[in-house]
Amino acid sequence: MTPESIAAASFQPSFQQPIPTQAVPPSQQGVSDPQTAQGQGHRSRIFLVGLLLILSLVVIALIVLRSVASNSPDAIFQKALAQALTTNYLEAKTTFDSGVAGTITTDTRYDYSDATNPKLTTQFTTDIIGHIKADAYADTKDNFLKYDQANGGTAVATLLDKWVQIRKNGLYDPQYAALTQPASTGSDETTFSSANFIPDPRELLLGQYLHANLSAQDRASLVNYVKVNKPYQYNPKQVVKSTLGGEKVYIYKVTYNTGKLTAYNTKAAALFGISSSDIKRFMNDQAFDSLTSAVLYVDAGTKQMVRLESKDFYGNKQVTDYRNFNQASRIQAPTAELPFSRLQPLLAIPAQTQSITY
């Protein structure tokens, strides 16, 4: 054996003898390094804080997006429509200005507390067919009329300030019904033969903008009809914020789809209990097809429609101001003080014009 082989053999490890390892005291088993544990805990806290921050930002973004969506011109208009159809009480003043021909003014109180029997009282004033001032009441079954001023002077003085019933249990007095005739010219407007004729005040339940107190199902149906069929057409980018009477309002410049507006009114009229024959006549009197433009004002706080201004291609202008939403007591029907037949001297005075509408 050479010296090199002897040296190599002396350093050859033996597989039969285990290599000794340093024993770990029982008290230190399972214990990590303090600095390592501290680092891991710090990283966990950073991760949790970051995760909470991201979630908070997501929630804030969703809230902002929802707020923006709920305050979009379309959302505001839809809310105004829905609120208008959940109205218990309302007052509205309308002025119809036909220029040199004169004006018609109606100052009306609406009571929708009974959803199936809307009631209204109005003061009607006009100088288009002479000078008339009258009060009228209407509900689904009955109409009453009282003249405060009428054409005819002293000859009709004893007939003033007396309530008469022109409709009872859904039927007109025959003498009143005879005053309303089909238009001989072929137009869609109602003609009449008396200078003191007052249209059925139920026409004031209808118009360019509707109020009612409908069931959730009927309300949703009408709002959806407007949303899908768009009788009110406007550019959302042109809706502006301004003030009206010191209050902030959104202003919508609108053109009407008059066919859809007529259909919208027809649906509402049926819910008001108006007969199909009366609906047809009322829609003719509304003359929506002559409208050219409108401006609608929605209160920025309450989301109620507070003013409507419109024009037609004849040059007529209409302004309606809505006020006192849900703030007054119920309306009661008057009591007849004269039979309708007593009004014959007043109603026999010939008309000086061929048409009238609210």
**Tens digit of pLDDT at every position of the chain (358 positions):** 444 443 444 434 433 444 454 554 554 555 555 566 566 666 666 766 666 667 655 555 545 445 444 689 999 999 999 999 999 999 999 999 998 889 999 999 999 999 889 999 999 999 887 789 999 999 999 999 999 988 887 778 889 999 999 999 999 999 888 877 654 545 445 555 677 888 899 999 999 999 999 999 999 999 999 999 999 999 999 999 999 999 999 999 999 999 999 999 999 999 999 999 999 999 998 989 999 999 999 999 999 999 999 999 999 999 999 999 998 778 999 999 999 988 888 887 776 544 444 4
Residue 350 burial by CB count (10 A; 0-12/13-18/19+): exposed, middle or buried? exposed
The predicted model scores a pTM of: 0.77
Query: Rounded to an integer, what is the distance from CA 214 to the centroid of its chain?
Result: 12
Around 237, how many Cα atoms within 13 Å sit in the side-chain half-sphere? 0
- Residue 131 is predicted with a pLDDT of 86
DSSP 216: H
- Residue 309 is predicted with a pLDDT of 98
- Residue 193 is predicted with a pLDDT of 62
- Residue 35 is predicted with a pLDDT of 60
- Residue 1 is predicted with a pLDDT of 46
- CATH T-level assignment (fold) for domain 73-347: outer membrane lipoprotein receptor (LolB), chain A (2.50.20)
CB of 121 closer than 8 Å to CB of 129: no
CB of 272 closer than 8 Å to CB of 118: yes
> Cα–Cα distance between 64 and 56 in angstroms, integer?
12
Domain ranges of the chain: 73-347
Q: How far is CA 14 from CA 2, 5, 21, 225, 275, in A?
A: 21, 16, 16, 96, 115
> Cα–Cα distance between 191 and 289 in angstroms, integer?
18
> Cα–Cα distance between 73 and 79 in angstroms, integer?
10
- Residue 34 is predicted with a pLDDT of 58
- Residue 134 is predicted with a pLDDT of 95
- Residue 358 is predicted with a pLDDT of 47
